[in-house]
Amino acid sequence: MFDIDEFTINTMINAYDSFKGTGLYVLLFIASIIFVLFNKKIKKNVKVVFGIFSVIIFIINLNPIFTKIYVKILGDDVYWRVYWMFPIGIAIAFMLTYMIFSANEKYRKFLLIAIVCLLIVVSGNLVYNQENFQKVNNYYKIEDELLDIVNYVSNDNEEYKKLVGPANFEIYTRQIDGNICLAEGRIWGVPPEYSIVYNINTANYKGIQEYAFGTNTNYIVLENINISPNDSLSNYNFDEVYKNEKYTLYKMSH
């Protein structure tokens, strides 16, 4: 059980990569730990919460034995959440605020405030960008083409409805209509090959058909860019019932 393999090491590396961002916040956090532990003016309870606790969590997270046990019990896809245990934001804020208020002259306080603001700017990325936001015309705040597909299924006269589409499609489906069943739960990262989402993303019509028939999934959504020009899901017991600029909706034939 305690033999450390390559998979365990890669899990640790991938988790850290997901956590570190640009890396500057990690450096600031480590600096805050050192600052708290070695500053004699800081109270012991603060040292315990921000310093000693963080060191212990670091030792645990960088221990492949712990990683192997964690992955064995909960899986590798959620291992990166161990970094949620760190008091990163509070510890950094405490260190910088303490330094600002410890400055005697006003110009030093303003200089430190300016440096802190600059650190915040250069240590991350702008949240409001095209990758995270896009202009939509509905109060659900999701892409209009996706809403059109789900509304079509919602208004269809079928009593039983189970829908599956590309990755993350199910998140918005549940947000719009809770009466539509989902073939699979939420999948992070690249869908595994046994997943119907993987078959949808790769336009594997035979795989979609087998999975849909086995799980009684009667609605399939494909992105138009993934639809093969030489074949169609219509040849696998599905009917094309709706199409917009981005998605095509298929319904299982009766």
Extract the tokens encoding 62: 């960088």
Query: What is the DSSP track for 36-63?
Result: HHH-TTS-HHHIIIIIIHHHHHHHHHT-
Angle at 235 between CA 231 and CA 236, to 5 degrees: 115
pTM metric for this prediction:
0.57
Low-confidence ranges of the chain (pLDDT < 50): 1
User: Which pLDDT score is estimated for 185?
Assistant: 66
- Residue 152 has a CB neighbour count (10 Å cut-off) of 15
d(CA 141, CA 171): 13
CA 178 to CA 161: how far, in whole Å? 11
181 neighbors 127 (Cβ within 8 angstroms): no
pLDDT reported for residue 189: 58
**Six-digit token pair at 33?**
């730990």
Task: Look at residue 94 in the predicted model and tell me its pLDDT.
Answer: 93
153/62 Cα distance (integer angstroms): 48
Task: Give the model's pLDDT for residue 182.
Answer: 82
Query: What pLDDT sits at residue 190?
Result: 61
**Dist CA 181 CA 215 (whole Å):** 11
Buried-exposed string 218-240: b where 16+ CB fall within 10 A, e elsewhere: bbbbbbeeebeeeebbeebebee
Which residues, including other chains, have CB under 8 Å from residue 232's CB and lie 6 or more apart? 205, 240
CA distance 54 to 33: 7
Q: What is the pLDDT of residue 254?
A: 74
Whole-angstrom distance, CA of residue 24 vs CA of residue 120: 9
Per-residue pLDDT, 3: 65
Residues 30 and 92: their CA atoms lie apart, in Å, by 9
